Amino acid sequence: MGILGIIAHHGYAVTAIVLFAAASGLPLPCSVVLLGAGAASHTVLKLWLVLPLAWGAAVLGDSLLYFGGKYTGWWLLSGLCRMSPNPENCIFRSAEYFYRRGPKTLLFAKFVPGLASMAAPLAGSLNMRFTRFLRMDALGVLGYVGSWMLGGYLFSAFINDIVRWVNELGHAVTVVVICLLLLYGAMYCISKLRARKYRRIERVSAASLHQRLQSEDPGKLVIIADVRSHGYYDPGGQRIKNSIRVEPSRLKEELVALREFMAPECEIYLYCSCIKDTTSVRIAHMLEQENCKTSVIEGGLKAWIKAGGAVEMVPSSDIEHLPRFE
């Protein structure tokens, strides 16, 4: 049974569940389901019922992510970007839409891949009032759901012809799907092979480094570099005590200043707050290409605090305040 067949038999439930789950962060084909629901509205479904049902389910899912972003902040955003090769970049690429366009981003967010699931928690983390979020998000979702469903309704005959054509081709379509899956598998393997270059990066646990620094000669030069992006800083932010700032987006310029610490007897440790220390490992590899030997503190700032390491407030000169859409 194809997607249209499933929608024809369980249309209202399938549409609502898929829209809610996708709005809650799961990677599901909303546009396909909405097109199918729109096409099925010619026969078994009622458009005046399935459209508000899909709209309400999507807004409800967005509202859950809004509160998740409001009360968990970067933790939820990092989780949503977990499958990205660079979770930190995934977050900030989405955040740029809000920085440039503000709350109006919600009006078109559903049409932008990646931003669709990030917009709601970003709005929460940036302290947008819920009533304002709900108003903007509801309009944006209505435009998204209405466009796809109306398209399915108007072009239902064409959609049914495509489904019939796919069913007639049968094995040929299966072969194409298998080829696409193999291509995806090959690309995945290539990305894994490319990631092997990061395995050579030396890592050290926060606990062992903290213990070592307590017992070593205080005159020995040890540099701990904070490579978190500026967006992680907001009033109340902390960093490892006496660590220096290395901005990932300006690494070449920062490298010039860092050169003075690159004496052979100097030890340099990097930390961030990313999942799997993504930014630290990437920066360590880039510095290694410049003949600068570094080590990554596993677990970053959280692991350091857990190990009992000293921290301090981020200096005001390093703070880049995030916009607050109150």
Where is pLDDT greater, at 126 or 158?
126
Q: What is the pLDDT of residue 1?
A: 45
Q: Would the CA dihedral through 79, 81, 86, 90 be positive or negative?
A: negative
pLDDT in tens, 213-227: 887 666 667 889 888
- Please provide the average confidence, as pLDDT, over all residues in the chain: 77
pLDDT tens, residue by residue, 171-186: 555 666 677 667 767 7
Q: Under CATH, which architecture does the 203-318 domain have?
A: 3-Layer(aba) Sandwich (3.40)
Average pLDDT of the residues in 96-112? 81
pLDDT of residue 294: 84
> What's the pLDDT score for residue 227?
85
Distance CA 216, CA 206 (A): 15
- What would the pLDDT profile of 30-73 be if each residue is shown by its tens digit? 888 888 888 888 777 888 888 999 999 999 999 998 988 887 76
Q: Which long-range contacts (CB under 8 A, 24 or more apart) does 276-279 make?
A: 277/203, 278/85, 278/86, 278/87, 278/88, 279/86, 279/88, 279/227, 279/228, 279/229, 279/248
17 pLDDT more than 50 = yes
Three-class SS state of 200: helix
Phi-psi map region of 55: left, alpha, beta (phi>0 left; psi -120 to 50 alpha): alpha
Kindly state the percentage of the chain with pLDDT values over 70: 67
Q: Say what percent of the chain tops pLDDT 90.
A: 15
Residue type, position 162, single letter: I
Does residue 267 have a pLDDT over 70?
Answer: yes
Mean per-residue pLDDT, 146-153: 88
The answer to whether 238 and 269 are in contact (CB under 8 A) is no
Domain range list for the chain = 3-169, 203-318
Q: List, for residues 198-212, the tens digit of each pLDDT value.
A: 677 889 999 999 888
Per-residue pLDDT reduced to its tens digit, 275-317? 677 778 888 888 887 777 789 999 888 899 999 999 998 887 7
pLDDT of 116-130, one tens digit each?
Answer: 888 888 888 777 889
Q: What does pTM read for this prediction?
A: 0.60
The pLDDT of residue 114 is above 80: no
Per DSSP bridges, beta strands 311-313 and 238-240 are antiparallel
Return all residues near 122 (Cβ < 8 A) that are at least 6 apart. Answer: 69, 77, 94, 95, 98
In this predicted structure, the answer to whether residue 262 has a pLDDT above a threshold of 50 is: yes
Cα distances (angstroms) measured from residue 215 to each of 55, 210, 218, 303? 61, 9, 8, 19
Q: Is 136 helix (H, G, I), strand (E, B) or coil?
A: helix
